[in-house]
Every structure is written in structure tokens, then in C-alpha cells.
Structure 1
């Protein structure tokens, strides 16, 4: 409590010193601002007056130089006395305008303090507006805190019981200390017993490990069988998962290729492939879409899309043979199929009639064609002639028609 009293007295002394100093100025900020403005105005006025006095002295020297006719000899200019006087008056007016003091009445110059005192007064005004209020508030807050702390200390002292009231508590504390000693002895006995039991447990654990090792040696064969079964199950699960992923990828590719061929992006929105039967179910807007609702041309496009998707997903270079590929398709779908043919496989055979692929469509396919064969009706059946090549090992059959022309039998 004595320390609190000493600190309270010190804080009060500091606050009193602050109140005797700049604190009164802190409560009149407007007046201080006016005084600061006045000090700045008088400083500017004094600086301008001093500058004017210096210029007046310098101008007297300048006037003597300019009034001397020898000053103008180096300029090769002949000026009479009147012109020099006018020039001198103009220079005087210009120079005085540059050092014109502020428009202040002499009666308003009231303070008339030195520059040192002015700096001190401006410092006091600035300090009273910034540091002093903050410092004083901190002192008051610290003083309030110390007062509350002293009151709490006094309340705690008032609540301290007398010796008569503490006597039963002391006796109870002594009894509990005695009981604690007895419990510590019991605890030591229990620790000794626990060490003995831990030693027995360690021996039993070693025995258990020995028996376990013996059992592991006998169970090695069973474990290998179990691992083989688990490996087989894992492979089956992986195969099933991989099949599902491939089927999902195939279904998405079928939908994309079919919509591309149909030139209708929303004809079917999805497809599901049964992993057991591989049955394909079409979807439109998340609803089952029966394949019977497709036209004959759309069914052909679906079959083409399935072949296209299978080749794309499997990445297998198998040849594709299409019989009458455009027979059931309208003009728009035929154009889609023409875009598909060059991408169907590395080797594509089209068995088309001249009504399906005419000269115009054939010209469009020209960049992708390797061989074109025209099959016309013969008046007489051709006869088969077997030719033996020079190597003597491979027989090349040729068909000869009635005009003795041969038909090429190469495959493209």
C-alpha cells in the first residue's frame, strides 16, 4: 500500500507541474492559434522590412553606378541624363515590388518579440496543442487506476479474518498435512509394488513375443495364401473400376461423336453402358431416350458414332468397311459423314453406289482417297486367270472381262 501511495503522490506532483506550465494553453486552442498566426504575420513583416532596408542600401550603390556615364561605355549606348533617371526609377520600382512587406497596419504589430522568443512561443503553442493534452490524460488515467488499486487493497485488508477466526483453519491444515504424509508413505509402497508388477509384465511380454514368433512361422503358408486372395480381389476390383471408367469415357465419346454427326448438340445429352451386358441406354435431359425414337438415318449415325468412339478409345488401328454408308441419310447428315470418313481409321473401305457418292462428293473426298474402283454390270461373266509371279511363291488372281481388260484386285 505504501508503494501505491508514493506513486499516487508522484503522479499528482507531475500533474500539478503540468497545470502550472502549458496546460492552461491547451484549453484555449483557438486563442493559441490566433497568437501563432500573429507571430507568423509579424515574422513575415519583419523579414520584409529587413529585406527592404537591405535593398535600399544596395539600390543607393546601384544608382551611383548607373548614374555614372562611364558605366554605359561598354554597352555602346548613349543615354542622356533624363533617360538614365527614368531607367533608375523603373529599376527602383521593380526591386521594391519584389520585397513588398505584407499589408499590415503598424498598429497591428503588437508583440514585437525577438526571433528566439518567437520560436519558443510557437514551440509552446504546438506542444500545448499536441503533447500536453495527451500527457495530462495519461496522468489522470494512471491516477484513477492507482486510486482504484488502493481502494481494492483496503477492501482486501478489511476482509482479512482475525487470528481467532483463522485458528480452526490452521488446525484443519495441520491435520490435512499429517494425512498427506501418510498418503505419501502409502504412495511409495504402491510405487514399489508397481515396479515389481512391471518387471513381471516385461517377462510375460517376452514370453508372448516368443510364442507369437513361433505361431508366425507356422502361419507363414496361410498368410501367403491370404495375400494371394487379397491380391486377386484387388486386381478384380481394379479391373471393375477400370472397366467402369472406360465405359464412362466410351459413353461420353459416343454422345459427342453422335451429336457431331447429327449436327444437333442437344439431340442426346448422355448415355449409359451396362458393364455386364454392354447395353447402351440413351439419355435426353437426364431422361431415358428410346432408340426407336431415332430415324433410320440417325440410327445409322449412332452405329457410326459407336464405331468411331470404339476406335478412338481403344486407339487400335483396325480397318473400317462401310456398306452403303449414305443410303439412309439426308444431305446435311451426308456432309457430316464425309467429315467422318477420313478420320474413321487408317484404312477405310466405302462400298457406295453412284447415287450416294456422286462426282461432287467424290471431289470433296479426293484428298483422302487412295483407290477408286467402279463396278459395272458385265454382259459376260469374267473368267479367273492365275498368274505366277517371278519369285515363284505368290499367286496373283486376275479377272478378265470380255474385252480382255483386267480388273485390279489390289486392296487400298
Structure 2
């Protein structure tokens, strides 16, 4: 329908004129076809007439026969002239044959029946199509304008995709490493819990050792400040006290104190045994010897309180320490557990014990 829009808009008179012209050219074509077909039979007709004249009697002369044939030819021609009514003189549309001419006439008649609403709708459709075409052309122009930027962005997008893939691989590796570390942390936490339990169990002994070290440091300070002129006497008294308590009598040959008041436990070869890792019991004996020496050389008596006196001592040292403590001239208070100063150890010092007290533990509420 859209391709016939020009014919639909040209108006009814023009379409009627075109149809009339095509009809007249159709008449011309049929007239020419009939005349051409008749001309092809004319000579045969004249030959038949001439043969018939030769049979006449009397016979016709040659001139008479020629005259008859010319008359017949003239009469034949008059059968086709004048041409029929409504016959075109020439062809204005020679490119159309009879069938095509008929189709054009039918189409023109259909357009004659086409109303104004249909034409308006057709025009609206054309306008919409033109608008859509314009939008497509604009889109093509914009696309062509941004094509270089699209290539750049495509390359950038490809690069970003590669980076993302690399980051994903790194994240995977980090997650695996994190899982391994979490497993190690779990094991470390287990070990820490175990060590914390062991530390809690060792806390009382550690506190006692810390107190002993603190006392030793305090005594060292007292020695350094109070009796710098009696260093040799203190060293000799420490040697005597230490040998009375230690069961390895030949291990420490003597105790020496230098001008800086540094105390040394020297063996027979002159090697300072304090440079080695002494046991808790050996440290206690050393501290006790120092306290006894200071007390003896100073000439001043003071009471001594010893908590768990045998807790860090082996069997060989226990009796030596107890006998040394009971030989002191001044009061000694021993805070013993039920596994220390009992049995043979208590019997060993019984003649020197003035009072004994038993402390009972009693829980009161949530305290104790």
C-alpha cells in the first residue's frame, strides 16, 4: 500500500485519465494484433481467388485478373480501417503488455475505492517510520562517534578482568594460609591453656622463690651499705654457715665477697658456682647462710620467720638446715606444712622447740 501512496494522492481525475489511456492502448494492441494476423492470410486468400479465376470460361485476361486481385486487396484493407473507437493512435506505455496493463488498471481501480482515513493512517505510518529511521541514523552516528572510546574501554575491561582473576587467586591463597594459621592458633591456644595450668600449679613455688630472691637482694644491699669494712668476716661466717647446712661439704670450698660486695661461691679450683644454674634448695641455703653471717657479724639478734623451710630442699639438706636454724641464739619461727618438719625431722630438733601450733583450714562462705 505504501508504494501506491503517490497514486493515491494524485487525485481521481488523473487516475481516470491513466486508466482511459491504458484501455485505449489495449484496444490499439488488440487491433494491431488482429490486423497483423489478417495480413498474414491475405496472400493466401488472393492466391485462392486467382486460382478460381483461372477456371472461369471464358477465361479472364491477365489485366482482368490483376484488377480483380487489386480490388480484393483494397477491400481487405478496408476491413481494418478506420480503427475501432477508443483506439489510441500511438503507445505512451510500450513497456506494458496486455497482462501488465490489466494489473495496473485493477490497481488503479482499487485506489479509487481507498478512503481518506486509510490514506491518513498510511501517512501516519510513513511519518512514524521516518522518525524511527531518523533515530536509527542518530544512533548510528553516536555509535560511530564513541567507537574509539568503546575499544579503549573494552581493553580496560579486559585488563580489569585479568586483575580480578589474579586477585581471586591471591585471595584463595590467603584464605588457605589463614585456615592454616587458624589451625596453628588453635593448637597454640591448647598449648597455652596447658602451660597456664602448669603456671598456676607452679605459682606458689614461684612466689616463694621470688620472695627468697628479694630477701637475698635486700641482704646484699644491707651488706653493701652496713658492713663494708667487715666483708672478710661476713664471708668467713657465710662459709661456716653454708658448710654446716650443705650436704656436699667439698663442693663449696669458701665464700668470698669482693670490694663491690659481690658474693661468690668458690670451689677448690676457685670457680664461682653462682655462675651455674643453682637449684632452689641451693639458693635457699645460700640465702640462709648470708642472713646468719650478717646476724653473727653485726652482733645484733633478731627473730627469723621461715615459711616452708624444707619445701625446696632434698633429704640430705633438710637436717643440715634444721640443725643450723636451731643453733641460732635468737627466736626462729618455722611455718611448716604437714610434710616438712614432721617425723624424724621434728625429733631431730625437738630439744630446741619451745612451742608448737597446728593451724586448721576452715572455709567460710566463698572465701578460703
Instruction: Tell me if both proteins adopt one fold, taking TM over 0.5 as the criterion.
Output: no
After TM superposition, the score normalised by the length of structure 2 is 0.35
Larger radius of gyration: 2
Q: Which has the higher contact order (CA 8 A, sep 6+)?
A: 2
TM (norm. structure 1) is 0.32
